[in-house]
Structure 1
Amino acid sequence: MMTPSILRLFKVNGIRLLAAGTLLSSLSTVSMAEEVPRVAALSRAESSRATASQQNKYTFIMFYKDQDDATKSMWNTLSQNLNGKQETTSFVAVNTNDPKEQKIIEEYGVSRAPMPLTLAVAPNGAITGSFVKQINDDYIQQAFVSPTKARCMLNLQSRKMVLLCVNPSGNTSVPAGVQAFKAVPCYKDVVEVVTVDRSAPGEGDFLKELEVPASQESSIVFMAPPGVMIGQYSGQVTSQQLIAELKKAGKSCGVEGCKHCKE
């Protein structure tokens, strides 16, 4: 079992992306079912993002205020890198002085951020990359993450805890201790249980990043906003252990229930 520690997980270009509060004042998402009838009412940037999400694509949104050299350079780099990736990405520029785009500017809380600023948005709405002033091909490539990593990031950015269950191939079950923790009334709405097959294509790098040991047994990774690694456990972990470890994290945890939940 790992001792609780703050980890710089999911860093891109030196900016931690776990919590919306670090750069983004809020993060709201629209379900795919709701997006279809609303597209006509969306701004150009919102429409681009909604369409990309429906097509399982990433969206790179460049926010800018002035047409200065940094803005032109960032846009040129995005164009050169992404023009050949239309099947997986879309990209759009947003002038923060444009009244039609104020909703998306407020959603991401970037009105006072250094400009230009590009956000990489996964199909599920997670922010997987944040690039201030400059961007390059490597940064862009790092913004493409595995589906499980994107799901964990989205929940953490939504200020939810994550219990990631890493299971042996073919096992989709959730350990009893995790189920019991999720059933605690004051935790059930602030924790998301995510399962992943440890042999799933494309997930290996993420599991290495989390330092999940190679094993034929289930492993549980417990994370909380704004970037707290509560611990890593075997599949035999109990709900009492998880609660005790969470309480040890104390003020490091960004969920109110971490400190005050009375199970």
Structure 2
Amino acid sequence: MGRGRTTKAKKKRPFWVELPLLIGIALVLALLIKTFLLQAFSIPSNSMQNTLQTGDRVLVDKLTPWFGSEPERGEVIVFHDPADWLGDMPVSEPTTVRKVLSFIGLMPSAEEKDLIKRVIGVGGDTVECSGTGPLKVNGTALDEPYVFPGNTPCTDDAGGRFKVTVPEGRLWVMGDHRQASEDSRYHQDDSTKGMVPVDEVVGRAVVIAWPVDRWNTLPVPDTFDKVPSAAGQPDPVAAPVPDPAGLALVVAAPLLVMRRRTGR
């Protein structure tokens, strides 16, 4: 009669032993999400009111650019200062803790040289303003309900009167608080002629995440659907890009299966 097979039950490790490993995994995942998927940014001024208020925290989609998609008209984007637009504006030195948490994406970015504006024109577009408006793109007047109440779409001053053609690979951006935004209009004499290089774009702001009572998405306004392309033809339908939530599910599913199989 053969000897029965015995199995040794694995001794379960105490939670306090596994805790550092769990924290390490969480930090790595947070860093990966911040680098490739989403990053939090804090709104430092009122130039995007009333869409965004000073102190709002927004989540910025950084995944889409990895798949070759460029910003489109109407999107709210975060971008690096293209030509010293902020000048000598004083900035507060972030604490060491904030630098660390910002680096891994658990707090809004400590990088104070980023700006946030709305894309009005993309490569090939002609954008123009005269008098108090309306603002026109490729000859089509925009209906802009997002403009700050009491503001006019255009301003009757030296910077507010313009007609520009956006070069390929560049963007024309403006703040929603038109009379309180130092945007493309007022930097036409700099090295980029007021345009933002696409390469300087961090990503698209998609959600107001904080404060809780301000939670909202940031969709593209319908008025931009009526703007023809520079050639006078409707813009081609953009190729679909992977959904961040879908990618997360694809990555997470095998891990959950492995976890169940190992009994951990």
TM-score bracket for this pair, using the shorter chain length: under 0.3
TM-score, length basis structure 2: 0.23
More helix by share: 1
TM-score, length basis structure 1: 0.23
Larger Cα-atom Rg: 2
